[in-house]
Amino acid sequence: MQVQSCGLNHLDLWLESGDLPVPVPLPRTPGGEVAGRIVEVGAQVENWRVGDEVAVQSNLFCGECEFCRRGDESLCLSGQLLGVQQDGGLAEQSSCRRARWCACRPEWILTPQPRSHWRGARPCTCSPIARRSIRRLGAGDGRGSGVGSSAIQIAKGLGARVITTGSSAAKRDLGLRLGAEFAVDSHDPAWPAKCGASRKNAA
């Protein structure tokens, strides 16, 4: 894959400082949030073609253990982290050993023009966490964070009514623009009651 964008987050800082609680085989190329264009596919790969624009899942899963089979890939018993146990995307090119680790980048990520390739890497870490939270808990907390922002969009895409919190007007406005129907101030002690009132009024 020709790397077009690679995000940086705390995982990369922990890797650099040696603060990760797992052994890191060296040498290692960091970068766990990768997006780019496929330049070569393996002989047994059927679903991808040269030129496809993809993002790579940061939590690398086996696809075979009990958790993977039930859709909880983030709990994979053999899971690894891209950029930690396997080389990441801070390079001109990056390889992906399993086709199922790739995902198509939605068209909204590539617009408006000029195509915003840097946006393609952002969901790689946050979206799987948000998806798992929504599936297991039926709720997401959107406070302007990557996980919260992803949770709003995923829940909205699944047809849910989304209520979000935000500690500032800017964060609440972001939540509304991402698809939340109602946004409350997380510093307001009465915000749980306001969320309940909004659900009752919409019923």
Question: C-alpha distances in angstroms, 121 versus 9, 92, 106, 148?
Answer: 11, 15, 12, 16
CB 82 within 8 A of CB 55: no
pLDDT of the chain, 203 residues: tens digit per residue: 899 888 888 888 888 888 888 888 889 999 988 888 999 998 888 888 999 888 888 888 998 999 989 888 878 899 998 999 999 999 999 888 888 888 776 554 444 444 445 454 455 555 555 555 555 544 444 445 666 777 777 777 777 788 888 888 888 888 888 888 888 887 888 767 766 665 555 55
User: How many C-beta neighbours within 10 Å does residue 175 have?
Assistant: 25
3-state secondary structure of 185: strand
pTM score above 0.75: no
Ordered by start, the domain boundaries in the chain are: 1-118, 138-203
CATH class of the domain at 1-118: alpha beta
Tokens for 38, please give them: 């496929």
Fold of 138-203: Rossmann fold (3.40.50)
> How far apart, in whole angstroms, are the C-alpha atoms of residue 130 and residue 148?
7
